[in-house]
Amino acid sequence: MAESTKSATLIIDGKEIELPIYSPTAGPDVIDIGKLYARAGVFTYDPGFTSTASCDSTITFIDGGKGELLHRGYPIDQLAGKSHYLEVCYLLLYGELPSAAELEKFEGLITHHTMLHEQMQNFFRGFRRDAHPMAIMVGVVGAMSAFYHDSTDISDADQREIASHRLIAKMPTIAAWAYKYSIGQPFIYPRNDLDYASNFLRMCFAVPAEDYEVNPILSRAMDRIFTLHADHEQNASTSTVRLASSSGANPFACIAAGIACLWGPAHGGANQACLEMLKEIGTPDRIPEFIARAKDKNDPYRLMGFGHRVYKNHDPRATVMKQSADEVLELLGVDNNPILQVAKELEAAALADPYFADKKLFPNVDFYSGIILEAMGFPTSMFTPIFAVARTVGWISQWKEQLSDPQHKIGRPRQLYLGEVNRDYSDIETR
Ligand code: CMC
């Protein structure tokens, strides 16, 4: 925990309460209100946590004004351009870029944990065949605690480490198998001679009857999508993982909770919703109609892939993703993709509209990722599972950080109660 160098004074009914202020290495100062209830008998109120730091962390930093995303201090555009996903995983987990020997060892560890216990296939087969792959992932990841007992004791640092490696390694297999199950094709086992992204693509697209060569361009694009989604500080799913973990829940249960939260359309589910929106718009001439709906106060409709709680200038992940979309479509020979055309014109139209400019609503990472994923051959239902695969390392890194703090407590928010008080129960005949 940071040292307090300044303080804030809160005056309630004439009584002054001094509150310590902590200065971070980057970002705004933080007022510590932890003892406020004990000292003044009041709670603070911040639904949606718009002004509340829920923890201290050294992993990821976002400057929403500048449009900056740093992992352990390294800018995301440098990591997306020069590094690769497993190296970023190492960085997030351990705090430093690995040496060549450390990276080789780490990649070997992850590669050798990619298989799933054979009996876990029964879990996949228990789902309806048209189940959404995210539903399967929530269930199967939660079920891992029934298969890997030797990595559920969170008080044992070695077990925490093994659980971390297992989750990062097995998540692509789980996502790929969820997909295979939903389209009625046989499960494809992981191969240890392939890199992380290539292995995932092969498990998704190979069939036993044919040879499957992973296209290195697609593998590189896949790896970049994983890298861009690896962590994003205290977002909704990460906070869900931390809250679940605060009760002492096992790692697989915590990550299953994170996956469930990610699924929502305001969070990771936006990539599926965004591509579906672009398809629904269909042609550029319909863009004004959809923009008008998004601006209408009486219509709950929103432009998916626009806006962010923290980024108020641009989402640096979206910038890289847009370049990737252009590259992948060109390399795949997909000329004049109508969806990309709608996306580009929608972006331009929204940015030129005072409603979006005034509210600082810019395209986020999900605006372009779906276009790439669709060009690769993924159905929209796989977009959010791919986000979940990538974000697993972020969840795990934040989970490990939380558990390594001996002061961590169960998360237990308070409330502003506005309900009835002290009513006498009335018998049903008298109501
Ligand atoms: N389209 C139209 N209006 C919007 C949009 C949008 N996409 N996003 C926000 N607004 C308006 C909103 O109606 C509100 O207007 P007013 O002040 O007049 O009531 C104002 O902008 C602020 O919105 P908010 O909901 O209070 O902002 P928030 O910080 O709580 O929500 C958000 C952030 C990402 C949930 C929201 O912008 C949104 O729903 N976007 C669409 C879904 C999306 O793309 N989500 C992916 C986020 S990035 C990937 C990830 O990290 O998960």
The model's pTM is 0.93
Ligand 1 atom with the shortest distance to the CA of 355: 3
CATH number of the domain where residue 298 is located: 1.10.230.10
pLDDT at 375: 87
Provide mean pLDDT across the span 208-229.
92
Could you give the number of structural domains in the chain? 3
Find the mean pLDDT for residues 226-235: 97
What integer pLDDT is reported at residue 132 of this predicted model?
A: 94
356 lines ligand 1 (CB under 6 A): no
Q: Residue 309 Cα, ligand 1 centroid: separation in angstroms?
A: 7
- Cα 304 to middle of ligand 1, angstroms: 9
Read out DSSP for 266-293?
A: TTTTHHHHHHHHHHHH-SGGGHHHHHHH
Per residue in 408-428, pLDDT (tens digit) is 899 999 999 999 999 999 999
For 292, the domain range is 270-376
Residues 210 and 230 both lie in one domain: yes
Confirm or reject: Cβ of 235 under 6 Å from ligand 1. Answer: yes
The yes-or-no verdict on residue 219 having pLDDT over 80 is: yes
Reported confidence tier of residue 29, pLDDT bands at 50, 70, 90: very high
Q: Does residue 331 sit in the same domain as residue 284? A: yes
Residues 225 and 201 reside in one and the same domain:
yes
CA-nearest residue, atom 42 of ligand 1 = 266
For residues 99-116, average pLDDT = 96
**Residues 147 and 225 occupy one common structural domain:** yes
Please identify, by atom number, the ligand 1 atom nearest to the C-alpha of residue 306: 7
- Same domain, residue pair 142 and 249: yes
For residues 341-358, average pLDDT = 92
Give the pLDDT confidence score for residue 3 in this predicted structure. 80
Residues 223 and 143 placed together within one structural domain of the fold: yes
The burial of 386, by beta-carbon neighbours within 10 Å (0-12 exposed, 13-18 middle, 19 or more buried), is given as buried
Stretch 295-323: mean pLDDT: 92
**Of all residues in the chain, what percent carry a pLDDT higher than 90?**
82
8 A C-beta contact, residue 62 and residue 403 = no
CA of 190 to the centre of ligand 1 (A): 38
Q: How far is the CA of 281 from the centre of ligand 1 (A)?
A: 19
Q: Cβ(167) to ligand 1 under 6 A?
A: no
pLDDT score, position 5: 81
Q: Is residue 421 part of a domain?
A: no
User: Which residue, judged by its Cα, is nearest atom 36 of ligand 1?
Assistant: 307
| 229 touches 118 (CB < 8 A) | no
Is the Cα torsion angle 217, 219, 222, 224 positive or negative in sign? negative
Are residues 218 and 253 both part of a single domain? Answer: yes
- Supply the CATH number for residue 41's domain: 2.20.28.60
Q: Is the CB of 202 under 6 A from ligand 1?
A: no
Residues annotated catalytic, as ranges: 308, 366
| 114 conformational bin, left if phi > 0, alpha if psi -120 to 50, beta if neither | alpha
18 and 156 housed in the same domain: no
Q: Are residues 230 and 362 in the same domain?
A: no
> What's residue 326's pLDDT?
82
Do 244 and 328 fall within a single domain? no
**Whether residue 137 has pLDDT greater than 90:** yes
Q: 3-class DSSP state for residue 361?
A: coil
Q: CATH number, domain at 153? A: 1.10.580.10
Same domain, 164 and 239: yes
pLDDT digits (tens, 9 = 90+) for 161-183: 999 999 999 999 999 999 999 99
Say yes or no to pLDDT of 1 above 70.
no
Domain co-membership, 90 together with 201:
yes
Residue 425 lies in a domain: no
Q: Is residue 381 part of a domain?
A: no
